[in-house]
Amino acid sequence: MTAQSSLGAFWRDLPCEGKWLLSTTAIQLLGRGLTLPFTIIYLHEIRGISLDLAGTLMAWIAVVGVLVTGPGGAATDRYGARAVSIFGTVCNMAGVMMLAFVDSVPLFFVAMSLIGIAGITWPAFNSLIAAIVEGPARQTYFGISFALVNLGIGLGGIISGAFVDVHRPSTFTTIYVLDALSMLIPIGLLLGPLRHVRTQVEAPPDDQNTGTSYWAIAKKPAVRWLLLVTFLGTFVGYGQMEAGFTAFAREVGEVSTRTIGWAFAANTAVIVLAQMLVLKRIAGHRRTRVLVVMSVIWACAWLLLGSAGVWPAGMYAAAVVIGYHTVFGFGETLLQPTIPAITNDMAPDHLRGRYNALSSGAFQAGAVAGPIVAGFLLRHQLNAPFIAMLVAGCALMAVLAVALEKLISPKVNGIPDDLSPAKAIAAPTPAETI
């Protein structure tokens, strides 16, 4: 068994800072899990905001996220991932706390703007991880971290699914307050055990004249295709989880909030139980081929959800809503170890913040388009076109992944050099080969 596929060997070789991050990931995300499945329900059914405006409010988070990723990536390279992460987490905490108490559309936009600013923490945290974990172990780290993230979110979804009640608005206030307070954990880590981690790296002498602007990086063919894959992965996936999926399940499938909570729990169970097995199976295989398989799985998931509208408000609808998230979750176990690993193996150390910011920007752009399109189509009862659009998006993502494979080196694509298990953590960071 290789170091990549052995959890024990991976944990043994992991630096102390990485152990701190992994060991607290699930509890950090418990608060996020309380609110993730129910934000659009909260806005629409509790605060009386129309479904399409609620989708726009949620998309606004991603709009702000896109706007701040550029400055955030440059700040990460210049000032370090830790400082940027602290700033973003504080903004997120303030926005979520505000969301719990405001009751007007303008104030909701302010709260969503603060939450959107927190989008800078994603490229910063990925840069922090890449500075701690090197070599083939990065893919394993991203996969395990994703499983733990979903463990925290899933547990939160189970708790809130059993607790929240649309007839008791105070229950929604409670979960948003708890979500905000949970953000004190990453702030404490960044100010304590992780305070010595440094992500700023000087450009090597032979790279001084290489373009460091976002435009220069984005012009590289491999980067362009990777960004398109990332955008589509969000548009047909994560951009729909809070808006499209939840709205379809409620408005078309006519299932209860408790069923939606259990759907997210099923998603989490699949990810937690399958992620290590998936990591073992995909180790040494081309990451782009893994993305093709994932696209097929997600297309099947959306077709399954679409069938909930055939027999709504019954056991069948509840079963397929939960089944959708089960299949979708398995696809996630293929996506999450691959795109971040490709991005960080492609990026030079001194530009890691910018590369992760571009990836984050593509992710956020998909999150902007997803809820807006979902809100419009579902409000106008275009249920079949909504599902057909997402299935077509999955097919296009598979085509783009095949195109990306021709533009990146085998090493960036997950085909390792002849590394011994002992070198899995200490291997030098791969240089970009395009």
Q: What is the mean pLDDT of each run of 10 residues along the chain (434 residues)?
A: 56 79 77 83 87 82 83 84 89 93 91 90 81 76 82 81 84 92 89 75 56 81 92 89 82 83 84 87 88 96 90 87 93 89 83 84 82 84 90 95 91 68 35 36
**Does a structural domain hold residue 205?**
no
pLDDT reported for residue 421: 38
Contact (Cβ atoms closer than 8 angstroms) between residue 88 and residue 124: yes
Domain residue limits at 358:
7-191+214-417
Tally of domains within the chain? 1
**Does a structural domain hold residue 106?**
yes
**Does a structural domain hold residue 287?**
yes
**Does a structural domain hold residue 422?**
no
**Does a structural domain hold residue 198?**
no
Name the β-bridge partners of 168: 165
Q: Is 158 exposed, middle or buried (0-12, 13-18, 19+ CB in 10 A)?
A: buried
pLDDT reported for residue 201: 60
| Two tokens, residue 32 | 């996020």
pLDDT reported for residue 429: 34
* Residues belonging to the chain: 434
| Two tokens, residue 4 | 């990549």
**Does a structural domain hold residue 196?**
no
**Does a structural domain hold residue 209?**
no
How far apart are the C-alpha atoms of 361 and 374, rounded to whole Å? 20
Residue 326 sits in a domain whose CATH number is 1.20.1250.20
- Sign for the CA dihedral angle at 38, 41, 44, 45 comes to negative
Who contacts 55 (Cβ-Cβ below 8 Å, separation ≥6)?
A: 40, 243, 247, 371, 372, 374, 375, 376
pLDDT reported for residue 144: 84
Q: Is 318 exposed, middle or buried (0-12, 13-18, 19+ CB in 10 A)?
A: buried
pLDDT reported for residue 146: 81
Q: How far is CA 279 from the centre of its chain?
A: 18
How far apart are the C-alpha atoms of 161 and 38, rounded to whole Å? 9
Burial 288-316 (b: 16+ CB within 10 A, else e): bbbbbebbebbbbbbbbbbbbbeeeeeee
pLDDT reported for residue 95: 94
Q: How far is CA 194 from the centre of its chain?
A: 22
9-29: pLDDT as tens digits:
777 777 787 788 777 777 778
pLDDT reported for residue 272: 84
How far apart are the C-alpha atoms of 405 and 380, rounded to whole Å? 39
| Two tokens, residue 309 | 């509208």
**Does a structural domain hold residue 2?**
no
Who contacts 218 (Cβ-Cβ below 8 Å, separation ≥6)?
A: 224, 227, 358
Angstrom distances, CA of residue 64 to CA of 56, 76, 83, 216, 264: 12, 18, 19, 23, 26
| Two tokens, residue 44 | 């629409």
pLDDT reported for residue 361: 81
Report field, pTM of the whole predicted structure over 0.85: no
